[in-house]
Structure 1
Amino acid sequence: MGTRMRILVLGGDGYLGWPTALYLSDRGHEVGIVDNFARRGYDHELGVESLVPIEPMPVRTRAWRELTGKEISCYVGDLCDADFTTSTLREFRPDAVVHFAEQRAAPYSMIDRKHAVYTQTNNVVGTLNLLYAIADADRDIHLVKLGTMGEYGQPNIDIEEGWIDITHKGRTDRMLYPKRPGSFYHLSKVHDSHNIEFACRAWGIRATDLNQGIVYGQQTEQTARDPRLATRFDYEAVFGTVLNRFVIQAAVGEPLTVYGSGTQTRGLIDIRDTVECIRIACENPADRGEFRVFNQMTQSLSLTAIAKTVADTYPGGVEIVHLDNPRVEVCDHYYNVVHTRLVELGLKPHLLSDTLIGSMYAIVEQYKDRVDPAALRPYVDWRRTSNPVTAG
């Protein structure tokens, strides 16, 4: 490892934020966490809970200190509070800020007007406050921002890493790749990307935008050391990813529910690769004034292929069924994503089938008595402006 860094993880209580904080701490960096614990509040609102029980933050940080002797600082507050955001950066003095602190579920943003407005306000305003805080506190702070492959939508051309060279009427320019996202959540991420790129141009800050695919897996080397260090496992229809839903359905003997034809293609990445990508981005910062984009994924699979992978690897019979697609999206579409820059910097990816067999099935088997089958059913329809808040 290179120089020891001070890294502030925003959204450090979340599914990815917590394992990222542990991973960076374990690699010798001095880590702080910021969170307002809104994600735990969404569970209460929706009447669901993580498949794997998770401990309160004081228990988590105490367990990490007992096991490793390493301290993780915790700041409780909201990025939408500009004074809190700026004062936290001034106090912690980070070299890098890893930004996970956003409402991350497309279905949540599509429940109704209230949830759409909340998602965009929370995500866009929080990120804007963070950009101003970096500009005012220290413009050398490197912003590592979690974006999403969903920003791109389903274009009929190759998806480049953030930028594209365009020739139009005999003239050529390098432009941000055009975006056509598929939910108000994904749109919030597009707004973030444009705001960050502008801040890089206007103020000379440095930023890396990580357009991440669907993350799967629940364990990293660090979280597996003690049950108190476990991260979330979301499986229900709003926050649960398609792969988690399939694995849960297989474990409880229900059919795997594929939305629509199943020919929709997704980019995927193992949680162990996510935390490694964050480390690589932090330790290899963007230049001053540079808005750098990495497509953070390792495989592309159709929904049907994901379901068949589960069916082929799960130790028992699994049925696959198709449901009406609640989302507005193209089913048969071209999907070719350039994702070379992280590999060039040293990423060695894990594969889906290895993770399923290696850990996910065992975890689900251990906790399957906590599954609420009703929570697996989709109830948020993109075509409606108002949906029930819970499946019940």
Structure 2
Amino acid sequence: MRILVLGGDGYLGWPTALHLSQCGHDVAVADNFVRRQYDFELGFESLVPIESLQTRISTWQDLTGKTIKAYVGDLTEADFTYEMIRDFAPEAVVHFAEQRAAPYSMIDRKHAVYTQVNNVVGTLNLLYAIAEIDPDIHLVKLGTMGEYGTPNIDIEEGWLEVEHKGRKDRMLYPKRPGSFYHLSKVHDSHNMEFACRIWGLRATDLNQGVVYGQQTPETMLDDRLVTRFDYDSVFGTVLNRFVVQAVLGHPLTVYGTGGQTRGIIDIRDTVRCIQLACENPADRGEFRVFNQMTESLSVADIAETVAKSYPGEATISNLDNPRVEKEEHYYKVVHSGLVELGLVPHLLSDTLITSLFDVTKRYADRVDLGAMQPRVNWRGALGGEAR
């Protein structure tokens, strides 16, 4: 199968491209390298140093004999998007190419507008390109569990059967996102469903939980193939921050009570989910939704898991929560679709023991302690001058 991975230089895009290539698919990647520019803007960098995309691709070819084609450009540029789809003629397009951090979108007006324009316009250009060039192309789009928010009812897999005043209907599950980033993903989902319903496209929306882990079998073949390890307060995950703090002997900083519950998933399961979605495409006209997660844990539970798994002493400290979110809430999610396709999940504790602690210890000298301090307040973006 010919598969185009958008955002193929990123944390998830690169390991996904390698995994799909290793599975025997003909893979191309596209990126505009803006994720690397965010590091310069914020003054952060990946704990694990990463090579250029060109070095990564050539290393992969040297090790495996498999080639990965690269396109450099921006999805918000329609001409580039159309030319790329025509040139590679993919059967499936995996779409990671969006600004992915909620805190980044909440810095101020400028970052909120950038996030929504970049994400929504890029996806719209892609939908039009697929519709006009080859409507049979299967779009596999990375969404987020954050689209749903934390409703006081079970979260279904994308769709909800509703009975109201004696009548029944099936509709997209109501969304209540918690940031301008998550809102952009909601807009994407609605645009994709509309395109499937009106134009007869085929799309799979993968509402992914928080991803943890830094290694896949493919990235472990050579240090030049590794992917990012973000631990900072803007792009880093809470689990990565806890792991770094444990290794350094610092308290694990939990925002608020830590009662916020989230869906989580191992990076090895992420790349497998993408493979399963590509190899089992949605039907023409179908907007298919999978909740791409394997476990649900509260932030406090994650901190306790890290502390218990770490072979040394680890303590937990609570800080004021810079986000606007419920401290305690109901959270029950249906996530059976990908398991039915063949996903066999990894466990969080296994990943910590076999991967994250060892990786952090190896690169502990690269840790920037200031990067882990909260620097974006959800209410702090208001009241400033337009700029």
Partners of 1:331 and 1:298 in 2: how far apart? 22
Partner of residue 300 from structure 1, selected from 296, 299, 318? 296
Mapped pair 1:156 → 2:176: no
The equivalent of 1:286 in structure 2 is 282
Question: 2-side partners of 1:359 and 1:180: how far apart?
Answer: 34
Equivalent residue for 1:183?
179
Percent of paired sites with the same residue = 73
- The residue number in structure 2 matching 1:210 is 206
1:372 to 368, 374, 386: 368
Shift of 1:315: 1.1
Task: Provide, for residues 12-40 of structure 1, a one-character-per-residue CA deviation record: whole Å limited to 9, x for no partner.
Answer: 00000000000000000000001000000
Once the two structures are TM-superposed, the CA of residue 386 in structure 1 deviates from its matched residue by: 5.4
Query: For residues 308 and 26 of structure 1, what CA distance do their matches in structure 2 show?
Result: 36
What amino acid does structure 2 have at the position aligned with 1:190? V
| 1:171 to 2:164 alignment | no
> In 1, Cα distance between the equivalents of 2:129 and 2:155?
32
Match of 1:274 in 2: 270
Matching of residue 51 in structure 1 with residue 51 in structure 2: no
For 2:153, the aligned partner's letter is I
- 1-side partners of 2:229 and 2:381: how far apart? 28
Aligned partner of 2:235 in structure 1 is 239
C-alpha distance in structure 2 between counterparts of 1:83 and 1:108, whole Å? 28
> Which stretches of structure 1, 4 residues or more, deviate above 6 A after TM superposition?
none
Where does 1:109-148 land on structure 2 (aligned, <5 Å)?
A: 109-148=105-144
- TM (norm. structure 2) is 0.98
Q: Is the 8 A contact 1:379 1:387 kept in 2?
A: no
CA offsets per residue over residues 243-280 of structure 1, 9 Å max, x none? 00100111111110101111100100000000000000
In 1, Cα distance between equivalents of 2:359 and 2:155: 34
Deviations 1:156-215 (A, max 9, x none): 000000000011111100000000000000000000000000000111000000000000
Shift in Å at residue 121 of structure 1?
0.2
Gapped runs of 5+ residues in structure 1?
A: none
1:9 is paired with a residue whose SS is strand
Alignment partner of 1:70 out of 61, 66, 70: 66
Give 1:231's aligned amino acid.
T
SS in 1 for 2:254: strand
SS in 1 for 2:363: helix
Deviations 1:91-113 (A, max 9, x none): 00000000000000000000000
Is the contact between residue 111 and residue 387 of structure 1 (CA under 8 Å) also seen in structure 2?
Answer: no
User: In the alignment, what sits opposite 2:254?
Assistant: 258
Match for residue 22 of structure 2? 26
C-alpha distance in structure 2 between counterparts of 1:15 and 1:288, whole Å? 30
Unpaired runs of 5+ in structure 2?
A: none
Cα separation, 1, equivalents of 2:66 and 2:120: 33
CA distance in 2: counterparts of 1:61 and 1:303, whole angstroms: 36
Cα distance, 1:314 vs structure 2: 0.4
Distance in 2 of aligned mates of 1:294 and 1:86:
27
Number of residue pairs the alignment of both structures matches: 384
Q: Which amino acid aligns with 1:235?
A: Y
In 1, the alpha carbon distance for the partners of 2:327 and 2:186 equals 22
